[in-house]
Amino acid sequence: MGAYVSKAKLHTVRVPKEFEPVFLKAQEQVSQYFKDLVFDPTTASIKISGDRYVLVRAASLSTEFFELITSLRQNLSQEQAHQVASSFLFDMAHAIGKADAKQFHARMGMKDPMEKLSTGPVHFAHSGWAFVDILPESNPSPDEDYFLVYDHPHSFEADTWIHQHKTSQNPVCIMNAGYSSGWCETSYGMPLVAVEIECRAAGAEHCRFVMAPPAKIEAAVGRYREQSGRTGNRPLGFDLPSFFRSDHLKRELQEERDFSSAVFDTVAALVVVLDPEGKIVAFNHACENTTGYSLAEVQGQNIRDLFLPSQESAKLGKVFDAIIAGNQPASHQFHWLTRKGDPRLIDWSYTTLAGPEDQIKYVVCTGTDITEHKQLETQLAGRLQELARVNRRLADVNKELDAFAYSVSHDLRSPLRAMEGMAYALLDTQTDGLDKEGREFATRIVKTARQMDYLIKDLLNYSRVNQEEIQLEPIDLQILVSEIVQQLQPDIRNCGAKVKIAQDLPSVLAHRPILLQVVENLLSNALKFTAAGTAPQIELGANQLEHGIRLWIKDNGIGIDPKHHEKIFQVLERLHDIESYPGTGIGLGLVKKGVQRLGGLVGVDSAPGQGSTFWIDLPRAKSKER
């Protein structure tokens, strides 16, 4: 044990100093095992290093389970109901602990008993049961003197009671005791049992356990109390858990069997218990409801001869043979034929229960009917394919429309320029031949042609945003904004505006030409939409978001009614007449299209007479280079 050296820190368990090396090694092994996690809700599977796991709410195995027993066993006192529930939980947890330990030790190729035992507390921490604090008075020797005292500071059972503001007269960490003793029993190859002697849910400072061989457990608890001077809460009636008692009364056995049967038959999952030959031993109500067959009809028959379509029978035979050979398989899907011949697709997982000398006694098959799920999945896949075809067609149509708009726009600008030129010529050469009304008409032609030219140019820009191939790269906002403000200096001077730019603006991921066009449009609007006689006051800054950067431009302009906040980003939508505020009505539509192409969002916060703050959310660049 002392030959193992690691620079890692022991953080998943607390043990006496002399045990740290072997637990450090266990921590590395178990951590490596849990790194390979696959969480796939589409197949209802959680796999760790290839083994399938299930998530279970802590409360359903703690407070809610005790409440269920109390409601089902109304002829029993609260104390008796607590004992029944505790016995059931301990037995189940002990069996699971043994099975998990056996599988994990085989998977990791472990031979040394102490190494096997040391992986238990670390596995405990990774799987959400509890953190383990082994106390110095412990003596985990592989013989009748085995004595372990340990705390579970974060026991899921005690935490559940405390979180729900409930208290108990008895210790409640039953599954923690059962699972930990089951793991240690398998590690050392000898019977072990654990009892909780103090419990936080019962008002104690700790959730403290003592573990020893069954015949020595009472003496071990007494030894601990003598050494520590503590009395603590009494353990669970201080009876040994039923898993180890040899003096079960027939009535108690029958009660537990009746209860187990009730639980077996009320679970929603399909559960089939098979013997090593594949014959049906038990068949719960969910199976009866799904197949239309009763237990009496199928009990004793071989599972390979029932329910399955002929082409799947051989596959099940191979799976079952692998289970009996000790090769625990992953889940499998088989079709079951009901009495009416309807196929139901069932997703199965398997657990083996061992008898004497670790020989497999039963195979427990747990299944979920996923027929409707698969049908919906198939329908969804078909609709997604159809949607993909529609999207491809829409993309082609958009490209065709963009190309058409681009071509037509170019063709329109040529006659417009000719019209504007001829109108200018009339004004310059026919000064004496044109009366006042003629000059007004010629001036209006020039003005209208110019407005039409602006509109076509903006349409071209809007078209280019869709057509242009873009590549995102880090853009320094400080540099980009400074360049835009410099270009707009003539307009800024003409209206007496003041533009305040925050220092040290961050970098974003964007396509420079599009981002430049977007920011320039927003700054131009801030300069333009100001009340008469008011000098524009503009601020520009940026905030860090969880997943990006928000660039904002704030002005003291006329403001926008909230009911128009969506409308202003639509192409050719105007809120004001062209004489009051010249423009084409395309600028903000171009802004929105450009930001969408950059993978960002754009919006505005504004109200009439209170100015506007336009904002753009963009991805953050990894580093800022100046």
Q: How far apart are CA 313 and CA 307, in angstroms?
A: 9
Domains assigned to the chain: 13-256 (3.30.1380.20), 266-369 (3.30.450.20), 469-626 (3.30.565.10)
Q: Which residues of 152-180 are buried (b: 16+ CB within 10 A; e: fewer)?
A: bebbbbbbbbeeeeeebebbbbbbbbbbb
DSSP state of 550: E
What is the per-residue pLDDT across 594-609, written as a single tens digit (0 to 9) for each? Answer: 888 888 888 888 888 8
For helices 78-108 and 174-188, what crossing angle results, to 10°? Answer: 40
Cα(498)–Cα(486) distance, integer angstroms: 13
Say what the pTM is: 0.41
Pairwise CA distance, residues 208 & 233, whole Å = 10
CA–CA dist 433, 447 (Å, integer): 21
Give the pLDDT of residue 247. 39
Alpha-carbon distance of 395 to 407, in angstroms, equals 18
* Helix H or strand E encompassing 562: none
Strands 132-134 and 13-14: parallel
pLDDT at position 373, please?
Answer: 85
pLDDT at residue 101 in the model: 93
Q: State pLDDT tens for residues 411-454.
A: 666 666 666 666 666 666 666 666 677 666 766 666 666 666 66
Quote the CA–CA distance of 236 and 83 in Å, as a whole number.
7
pLDDT of residue 558: 82
Q: Which regions of the chain are under pLDDT 50?
A: 1-5, 232-239, 242-253, 624-626
Closest CA to 290 of 200, 197, 371: 371
